[in-house]
Structure 1
């Protein structure tokens, strides 16, 4: 009985200590994104008998903001967050086709900015609990809530007939028939530093879901020869985002 009482007392003390070490915080988060959507190598097809196709993307700077919740158990913490996160890419496209009177072409340059509600679920390890270096990792899911594509295109007809550049500004649509998936998912990981209520993190978001839907059957790209209509949406694309964020936590 004596040993049983000691064990029960020890268990109670352990539970009490563990409970005292568990803290809860609510934080405000903001930061910068360096965003890119990958391009399948098949999007670029040069030296073809009938012409050439070029689809290239580069990263753009965007932003994110939202709230984070923290449950901390000593050096280990669980930090889910709800963020408005802007992603996308800059792009350059060119379609060149041969003809009796010379080549014809359409080129375009512009920017695609897409808006997402993102839910990262990160586990964070801080070397000294509430201060010092951190490492973190965890999955995320995201829902697209809009976006815009802006830029300029120009047609070239024959060797000497060039049309005027045309500006475009279009809303990015999602769902069946649009070529864009509304849902994304992947993993985040990175390093950071915590000093009291302030946390700064440098992370990377690795998207694992294809952002583009397969084109309708009647518009599917040709499997033989050159297809002048082929574009980004005929390939697979994945979100790649480098993130620099700051979070200020309040005690609950």
Structure 2
């Protein structure tokens, strides 16, 4: 799925903020200036700034403009996870080298996986493990499971996510170098078809201290994730900052 312009613009400013290229207190250009530089409308810029606000990277001051936040917290945003590859998503969070490795294998469904996926016990399923690191430091690991007759999340209509602090699976603890008894930030995802059939189930682990918050905003409808629609013209002027 192509990356919407507002996500790309927000990602560009997010990298500059997180790497210190834009220090705390720096004022961002006006909506009009950002729109002109990127060849987009001010409506697209408004959505990009809204994304930065939701990540805690900037603050808005009435009648003055948008400024880099005084204290930067790393917030995990749903569209970055669902609409982009891990390489792009993690790359927007840092200027350091991000490496993503994937392995795939087939295995027999355990009782738990059979119940989650709605398949028979012992039925063959696919497992895809994705490991991500930043300058050699492990930052994420995920296991995705799906029936053999499905591929990716094509055809998914709904996404369920459950987030919790919990003890990691042994393989996740080993990759993240989690001390014995320490917790990780765990996300369980289920991608469902319109008939509630599970197309994919994922278990994702992050270091407990990597993100200060998770923001959930997503759509699995490609048309809904198209560029924000231009509003009907009105007499009210569009703010420039």
Larger of the two Rg values belongs to structure: 1
Pair in the same fold by TM > 0.5: no
TM-score tier by shorter-chain length is under 0.3
- After TM superposition, the score normalised by the length of structure 1 is 0.26
- After TM superposition, the score normalised by the length of structure 2 is 0.26
Q: Return the structure number with greater strand share.
A: 1
